[in-house]
A and B are shown apart, each in its own frame.
Chain A
Amino acid sequence: MVRFLSRRIVSMILAIFVVITLTFFLMNLVPGGPFNTEKLSPKAAAILENKYGLNQPLLKQYTDYLGDLLRGDLGVSIKKVGYTVNELIAEKFPVSASVGGIAICIAVILGIPAGVIAAMKRNTVIDRIIMFICTLGVSVPSFIVATLLLYVFGIKLAILPTMRLNSAASYIMPAVALSLSPLCYITRLTRSSMMEAMEQDYIKTAQAKGLSRLTVIGKHALRNSVIPVITYLGPLTAAILTGGFVVENIFSIPGLGKYFVESISNRDYPMIMGTTIFFALLLLVLNFIVDLLYKVVDPRIKY
């Protein structure tokens, strides 16, 4: 177990390191700093560059940055003067997390039962309907779903709010848009792993023991079929995180994703870098937790 932990942590550090380095050098590949868009006198530009350390040799900038990172300092936003990157992330991330969290819950809480029902009633009308919806759902990108929802419920029917997160109702459309594709994927995954589980010998044993159908399905089969779904949780969080970039844009939600996209067009380097590193770290940590969870659910896994 210790070996596994140490190996994992090392590879996580390695990955983050690659991300930081990659991001840093790529960002600086772009000629012209963040101030070209403004009409500045050379003198003013020089002062700004000095202030943000942009005129120093690249390698020094890099090592300085690494040093700052180790202290947890992600730098200062160039565009939003007076705010540090840390502050901005701390302000905006909870917003994204709330919508994203709800989306994950919807996907898992609805997806697994739907998959079980489809598997138990396989080849009946219910199964075919569920599978049909899921096949469609997996093929429609979240931003398309978002725009469609916006149009139908927000504009045409005007029953749901289309902007920001002022009320509970305003969470509905963004969360649904983010969760639809993963929901359908989880349903399909659960269905196929349930069908596989039900073919296994231990199900015959459970039946031969005289256990009720509910116990056989809900305890013996389900516990085994949830395992692949847990493996999917990693990519799931990544999908919801990146999906958030666009969905937040569409619904004008002041989350970190939307801000990230803005900083890209603004060329707010510290912000771009800081957010990228934050997201990367978040995903790595979440994946790590998922792998630990996997071990809890499936005792056969040995690390």
Chain B
Amino acid sequence: MTKTPLLTINDLHVSFFTPAGEVKAVNGLSYTLGEKEVLGIVGESGSGKSVSAYALMRILQHPGKVTGGSIDFAGKAINTLSEKEMQVIRGKDMAMIFQDPMTSLNPVFTIGSQLRETIMKHTDLNRAQATARAIEMLEQVGINNPEHRIKQYPHELSGGMRQRIMIAMAMSCKPKLLIADEPTTALDVTIQAQIMDLMNTLRNETDSSIIMITHDLGVISEICDNVLIMYGGRVVEYGNVDDIFYRSAHPYTKGLLNCLPRLDDDEDIMLTPIEGTPVDLMELPKGCTFAARCDSCMRICLKQSPPEFILDEESNHVVSCWLHTVPKGGEYNE
């Protein structure tokens, strides 16, 4: 695969400088994303997954700042662009949808006006043409009666519809990259399924790459090509979806998979959570961030943060864990 990737993130560091101290939200994140690829980013709250996306779009809220690393998108070095140049990219080449559709749409403007806004900002269409395009987009995302809908206000619509509208807004200018930050978390299960169907359709019918940020492994298995697992602001494992589900290497990943109840489990089986509390981002340990909660914790884990070990060059399965210092096929002498 020698094609230039669409997105390259290299050693990204993001911190929040709060009155209480520096919160290190992202500590050395690196990955690449190709065209038409769907990458899932998995992690619990506080793992830095959403923050990295905001940093990518450069919409980090004060007091957050990118403190290191580089971001290359479609040949442009994102961290060197001016705000005006970023505004051209946002919404047009790079789009984002957010977790809570209830609050992500401005309550005082109609759907139509909010859709038109993006379209007219990034294209040359006039108002009538933009409205037509908006209606087109609404049809594409499966909203019936779009001519009526565009005159409605967000509070008049259900959560599922609002999320579809968010997707329509994001896709309206045919972005190269769509970032979906927990798009189904705030929706109930049946609506989740509908939205995931929609996203699958988008993936098949458009040329956009998708970054799917979620803590829901079910969502990952449905749509993602590759998966990135984050903990404490760092990458702990990366691989394609099969590697992660069937050949997971990091104790955290294994723990996440074990947490999930299975349909074929007995009713009275105890769920196995991952013990412990998330790492304190203001006082990051000098060793592995997961050490305190890891059943296979070794002395070295407390002393030094593990680098990324390649498990499989071809499928690009990488893990950040001292357990894997043994190369394939070798033994270990304790």
Asked whether the complex places CB atoms of A and B closer than 8 A, the reply is yes
The answer to the question of A212 belonging to the interface, with a C-beta cut-off of 8 Å to chain B, is yes
The answer to the question of A297 belonging to the interface, with a C-beta cut-off of 8 Å to chain B, is yes
Query: How many interface contacts (CB-CB < 8 Å) are there between A and B?
Result: 76
Pick from B57, B108, B153, B155: contact of A224, CB below 8 A. Answer: B108
B87, A212: Cβ atoms closer than 8 Å: yes
With A209-B169, A210-B121, A210-B122 known as contacts, the answer to whether A202 contacts B87 (CB < 8 A) is no
A208, B153: Cβ atoms closer than 8 Å: no
A5 to chain B, nearest CB (A): 22
A208, B96: Cβ atoms closer than 8 Å: yes
B89 partner residues in chain A, CB cutoff 8 A: 210
The answer to the question of A156 belonging to the interface, with a C-beta cut-off of 8 Å to chain B, is no
- CA–CA, A201 and B97, complex, Å: 11
The answer to the question of B11 belonging to the interface, with a C-beta cut-off of 8 Å to chain A, is no
The answer to the question of A206 belonging to the interface, with a C-beta cut-off of 8 Å to chain B, is yes
A206, B153: Cβ atoms closer than 8 Å: no
- CA–CA, A295 and B118, complex, Å: 27
The answer to the question of B103 belonging to the interface, with a C-beta cut-off of 8 Å to chain A, is yes
With A208-B96, A210-B87 known as contacts, the answer to whether A202 contacts B107 (CB < 8 A) is yes
- Chain A contributes a number of interface residues (CB within 8 A of B) equal to 20
With A207-B59, A209-B117 known as contacts, the answer to whether A299 contacts B107 (CB < 8 A) is yes
With A201-B100, A300-B153, A300-B155 known as contacts, the answer to whether A208 contacts B91 (CB < 8 A) is yes
A31 to chain B, nearest CB (A): 57
Name A302's closest neighbour in chain B (CB-CB).
B155
The answer to the question of B104 belonging to the interface, with a C-beta cut-off of 8 Å to chain A, is yes
A297 partner residues in chain B, CB cutoff 8 A: 108
Within 8 A of A (CB), among B77-100: 83-84, 86-92, 95-96, 98, 100
The answer to the question of B109 belonging to the interface, with a C-beta cut-off of 8 Å to chain A, is yes
B98 partner residues in chain A, CB cutoff 8 A: 201, 204-205, 208
B105, A205: Cβ atoms closer than 8 Å: yes
A299, B105: Cβ atoms closer than 8 Å: no
Name B152's closest neighbour in chain A (CB-CB).
A299
- CA–CA, A224 and B107, complex, Å: 8
Please list 5 pairs of residues, one from A and one from B, whose beta carbons are closer than 8 Å in the complex, sorted by A's number.
Answer: A202-B104, A204-B104, A209-B91, A298-B107, A299-B107
A-to-B contact residues, CB < 8 Å? 200-202, 204-213, 220, 223-224, 297-300
